[in-house]
A and B are shown apart, each in its own frame.
Chain A
């Protein structure tokens, strides 16, 4: 490579480094915020889902339509991804998990609710019905959005448009580890719920040492079973989804921060290597010129 080309390449890499470093800094701030939100939200989600789990054990729920298993293969799939890429393997992991979840079902049997553009693009490109696409832009999301979404899903479930509802999201473990996870939303089932609650491990605080949920044999439900459960179950499922969204947010920003950090480190390496090459080429040119002069002189002096 010529000297000038190397120089241009170094410049370009340095510019890239600046960009990735800036993105890393931005993501780091967002990461701190969303991680705190996710960790704080876990206590609440755990309390709400424990409640739901205790309820699911009682006969009221077993008799409720939202708690009944059905034969049938129609699936409502909630996919929570980010809107933007540059976050390492985060979205591809979630989408891979989602594809596993719908394996063996025909395209017509799956209805996708996409939270985040990546999931929407992925499924609409493959010809799936995307019933609803929500942008995953803001970091502060009102619970009401989730309630709307859950209302739509529960209504569809009751109207037998879907026989099952699952959600795929990325569970936040630590800054370096996010696990694509699938959870079942409807119909309610004790093992599935216990699974979700077990997966929520608060970092610290009141709920961190809570023992397994002891379900009372029966609940007094006021005013009447069907009515109350019709309100309670969607609300609690919305809280579960909200919790998943917070986890996904924390995962997204963590993954992006790490990806950008890797990119910054890599670009530094590239600049160092290129500079070394640049020096070598320059030195070679100098040496060649000097030896040309010397040999020219020697030829003359003989």
Chain B
């Protein structure tokens, strides 16, 4: 089974996603990128766009990111703040 990591996508007032994910595709400042388990620690601002989250049950969910945000990956978990 593929490895998962903990992903949090949060807005000021609410958590949009909080749980284990296989991968997440995000609109970075320099184009789309995908984060999977074991990604190196990094941080980047995000453009407005769509975050595509893949979970272990094969479901793909998309979240609208507007007006953009911040993505951070460190120590086996990823945080997306809008």
Q: Which residues does A use to contact B, with CB under 8 Å?
A: 37, 40-41, 43-44, 47-48, 51, 54-55, 143, 206, 214, 216, 218-223, 228, 231-232, 235-236, 239, 242
A43 to B10, Cβ gap below 8 A? Answer: yes
**Could you show 30 A-B contacts with beta carbons less than 8 Å apart?**
A40-B13, A41-B12, A43-B15, A44-B10, A44-B12, A44-B13, A47-B81, A48-B70, A51-B72, A51-B79, A51-B81, A143-B12, A206-B18, A214-B75, A216-B75, A218-B41, A219-B41, A219-B74, A220-B40, A220-B42, A220-B43, A221-B42, A221-B44, A222-B42, A222-B44, A223-B30, A228-B43, A228-B45, A239-B12, A239-B81
Q: What are the residues of chain A within 8 A of B15 when measuring CB–CB?
A: 43, 206
Interface size of B in residues (CB-CB distance below 8 Å): 23
- Determine if B49 is an interface residue (Cβ-Cβ < 8 Å): no
Centre residue among B14, B28, B41, B75 by max chain A CB count within 10 A: B41
| The 7 residue pairs across chains A and B that have the minimum distance between CB atoms | A220-B42, A216-B41, A222-B44, A231-B45, A223-B30, A51-B72, A216-B74
Chain B binding site: helix, strand, loop or mixed by DSSP? strand
- Determine if B32 is an interface residue (Cβ-Cβ < 8 Å): no
Q: Complex formed: what's the CA distance from A268 to B54 in Å?
A: 62
Q: Complex formed: what's the CA distance from A55 to B43 in Å?
A: 9
Q: Complex formed: what's the CA distance from A54 to B29 in Å?
A: 21
Chain A binding site: helix, strand, loop or mixed by DSSP? helix
Q: What are the residues of chain B within 8 A of A220 when measuring CB–CB?
A: 40-43
Known: A51-B70, A242-B12. A219 touches B43 (CB 8 A): yes
A216 to chain B, nearest CB (A): 4
A232 to B70, Cβ gap below 8 A? Answer: yes
Q: What are the residues of chain B within 8 A of A143 when measuring CB–CB?
A: 12
A-B contact count (CB 8 A): 68
Q: Complex formed: what's the CA distance from A220 to B81 in Å?
A: 18
B79 to A41, Cβ gap below 8 A? Answer: no
Q: Complex formed: what's the CA distance from A219 to B28 in Å?
A: 16
Q: What are the residues of chain B within 8 A of A51 when measuring CB–CB?
A: 43, 70, 72, 79, 81
A219 to B81, Cβ gap below 8 A? Answer: no
Contacts A214-B75, A216-B75, A232-B43 aside, 14 further interface pairs with beta carbons under 8 A come to: A44-B11, A47-B79, A48-B81, A51-B81, A55-B43, A219-B43, A219-B74, A222-B28, A222-B29, A222-B43, A228-B44, A231-B45, A232-B70, A239-B81
Known: A51-B81, A214-B75, A236-B70. A223 touches B29 (CB 8 A): yes
Q: What are the residues of chain B within 8 A of A48 when measuring CB–CB?
A: 70, 81
- Determine if B23 is an interface residue (Cβ-Cβ < 8 Å): no
Q: What are the residues of chain B within 8 A of A232 when measuring CB–CB?
A: 43, 45, 70
B12 to A54, Cβ gap below 8 A? Answer: no
Centre residue among B12, B44, B75, B81 by max chain A CB count within 10 A: B12
Q: Complex formed: what's the CA distance from A222 to B41 in Å?
A: 11
A37 to B70, Cβ gap below 8 A? Answer: no
B74 to A54, Cβ gap below 8 A? Answer: yes
Q: Complex formed: what's the CA distance from A51 to B10 in Å?
A: 13
Q: Complex formed: what's the CA distance from A134 to B32 in Å?
A: 38
CB closest chain-B residue, reference A206: B18
CB closest chain-A residue, reference B28: A222
A222 to B70, Cβ gap below 8 A? Answer: no
Q: Complex formed: what's the CA distance from A106 to B30 in Å?
A: 46
B37 to chain A, nearest CB (A): 16
Q: What are the residues of chain A within 8 A of B44 when measuring CB–CB?
A: 221-223, 228
CB closest chain-A residue, reference B42: A220
